[in-house]
């Protein structure tokens, strides 16, 4: 004899085993939906990362600009101010 504990939508009684199976199916459906959403988000994130790499927004491969060459006049002004260390 099966123990009737719950009623489904049609009004029929469900046993504990059937209730457990239905609960497991619901959880499985929710997990599948979450996995599908996660997969969609990963695809979007990958596309964004690829666009960033190809668009030149990444830090890799960039060459820092060379410092500006100091003119003779600029060096003379720094020397007169005492900012030049000639011991180096």
The answer to whether position 26 is within a domain reads yes
**Domain residues for 20?**
1-59
Q: Specify which residues 7 forms β-bridges with.
A: 13
The answer to whether position 65 is within a domain reads no
Count of residues for the chain?
Answer: 88
The answer to whether position 66 is within a domain reads no
Range name among 4-13, 29-38, 56-65 with the lowest pLDDT average: 4-13
Cβ 70 vs Cβ 64: under 8 Å: no
End-to-end CA distance of the chain: 98
The answer to whether position 38 is within a domain reads yes
- pTM to 2 decimals? 0.43
The answer to whether position 75 is within a domain reads no
**How many folded domains does the chain comprise?**
1
The answer to whether position 79 is within a domain reads no
Digit-coded pLDDT (tens) for 51-84: 877 776 556 667 778 888 989 999 999 999 988 8
| pLDDT for 1 | 43
Q: Identify which of 5, 30, 23 has the alpha carbon closest to the alpha carbon of residue 15.
A: 5
């Amino acid at each position: 004899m099966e123990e009737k504990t719950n009623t489904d939508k049609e009004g029929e009684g469900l046993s504990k085993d059937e209730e457990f199976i239905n609960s497991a199916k619901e959880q499985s459906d929710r997990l599948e939906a979450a996995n599908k959403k996660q997969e969609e988000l990963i695809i979007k994130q990958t596309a964004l990362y690829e666009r960033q790499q190809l668009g030149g927004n990444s830090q890799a491969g960039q060459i820092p600009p060379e410092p500006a060459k100091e003119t003779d006049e600029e060096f003379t002004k720094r020397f007169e101010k005492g900012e030049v260390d000639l011991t180096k």
